[in-house]
């Protein structure tokens, strides 16, 4: 059985038509045929259907499934997803497995986090708690090896970077200096032309999970973005705390899967404030859910 067909069957024609139009499909024909088309479109994507539905539509589906309709819209989506997963699997045994991964709620939407394809420091719990304050490391020479670089990154965990100023790159420049790495700002990566150092602002979602606050910059438009993303040391900085603590690091080396994800999520936009004429390459926030970065922060 497929729960998507049951939930779509509860929706009125107007809701089904709206959902089909949102997918770029025409909404002509009798109601049952439209319901079948919508259900077939989302037969393998219950989370996608629930993310597309409005609050009113979610409540209609919840009533049809004999579920409560209270709570936030994210809680309602999670409740419907859990109901569907249990119905389809015949119980909870597969929940949380590779066969049936459980999405997290970020900004009210259900998000499936990709496997953590990289290295990260041990966690004292998940979602990761903010580490206790750490002393400012003494100035250091450039690390000789990747292991030395990651060991140096460990010393930054819990470091309070202080309030963010108007220069969005100031925290990144300070982190690079504390790692003993000179930011090159060119086509080649920062550490010995091999590993790029990038700071990623993260915030705590109302669901309790960490999410990326905004698309981080990769390079100027004139610099091929892939040249910066072969090997990357991402440094997660808590952007909704006044003292901007360093939460964690995540090291990745590009493989075929990451290359595909980068191509899908790279985009250009103006770089700078209002009236800026220069453009830069940015990675969409969705990359960090898909590539394992958020998995390393949330579990």
> Are 205 and 279 members of one domain?
yes
> Are 53 and 170 members of one domain?
no
Question: How many domains does the chain contain in total?
Answer: 2
> Are 188 and 279 members of one domain?
yes
Contact by Cβ (8 Å): 107, 77: no
139 belongs to a structural domain:
no
Given 64, 84, 111, which residue is the final one in a domain? Answer: 111
What pLDDT score does 139 carry? 80
pLDDT tens, 18-64? 999 999 998 888 999 999 999 999 999 999 999 999 999 999 999 99
Given 58, 88, 111, which residue is the final one in a domain? Answer: 111
pLDDT tens, 282-299? 999 999 999 999 999 999
What's the CA gap between 84 and 43, in Å, rounded?
12
120 belongs to a structural domain:
no
Tell me which residue range forms the domain holding 249: 146-298
Residues contacting residue 88 through CB under 8 Å, at least 6 positions apart: 1, 2, 3
Contact by Cβ (8 Å): 37, 20: yes
Distances (CA, A) of 192 to 175, 179, 189, 218: 16, 13, 7, 18
> Are 29 and 154 members of one domain?
no
What pLDDT score does 206 carry? 95
Sign of the Cα pseudo-torsion (129, 132, 133, 138, in order): negative
Task: Using DSSP bridges, classify how beta strands 231-238 and 246-253 pair: parallel, antiparallel or unpaired.
Answer: antiparallel
Q: Residue 252 forms beta bridges with which residues?
A: 232
Contact by Cβ (8 Å): 245, 202: no
Q: Which residue in 295, 244, 262, 250 sits closest to 104, CA to CA? A: 295
pTM: 0.90
What's the CA gap between 31 and 113, in Å, rounded?
35
What pLDDT score does 277 carry? 84
Sign of the Cα pseudo-torsion (291, 42, 47, 19, in order): positive
Q: Write the CATH number for 152.
A: 3.40.600.10
What's the CA gap between 156 and 172, in Å, rounded?
12
> Are 155 and 293 members of one domain?
yes
> Are 159 and 293 members of one domain?
yes
């Amino acid at each position: 059985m497929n729960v998507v067909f049951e939930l779509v069957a509860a929706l009125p024609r107007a809701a089904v038509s709206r959902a089909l139009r949102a997918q770029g499909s025409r909404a002509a024909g009798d109601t049952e045929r439209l319901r079948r088309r919508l259900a077939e479109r989302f037969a393998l994507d219950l989370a996608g259907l629930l993310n597309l539905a409005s609050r009113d539509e979610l409540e209609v589906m919840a009533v049809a499934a004999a579920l409560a309709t209270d709570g936030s819209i994210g809680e309602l989506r999670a409740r419907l997803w859990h109901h569907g997963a249990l119905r389809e699997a015949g119980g909870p045994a597969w929940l949380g497995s590779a066969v049936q991964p459980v999405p997290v709620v970020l900004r009210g939407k259900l998000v499936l986090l990709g496997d953590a394809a990289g290295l990260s420091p041990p966690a004292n719990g998940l979602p990761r708690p903010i580490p206790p304050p750490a002393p400012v490391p003494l100035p250091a020479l450039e690390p000789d090896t990747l292991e030395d670089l990651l060991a140096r990154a460990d010393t930054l965990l819990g470091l309070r970077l202080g309030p963010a100023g108007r220069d969005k790159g100031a925290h990144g420049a300070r982190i690079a200096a504390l790692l003993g790495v000179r930011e090159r700002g060119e086509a080649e990566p920062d550490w010995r032309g091999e590993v790029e150092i990038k700071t990623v602002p993260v915030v705590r979602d109302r669901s309790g999970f960490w999410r990326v606050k905004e698309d981080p910059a990769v390079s100027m438009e004139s610099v091929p973005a892939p040249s910066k993303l072969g090997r990357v040391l991402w440094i997660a900085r808590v952007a909704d705390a006044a003292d901007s603590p360093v939460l964690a690091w995540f090291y990745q080396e590009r493989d075929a899967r990451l290359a595909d994800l980068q191509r899908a999520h790279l985009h250009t936009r103006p770089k700078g404030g209002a009236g800026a004429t220069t453009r830069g390459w940015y990675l969409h926030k969705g990359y960090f859910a898909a590539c394992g970065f958020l998995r390393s922060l949330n579990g």
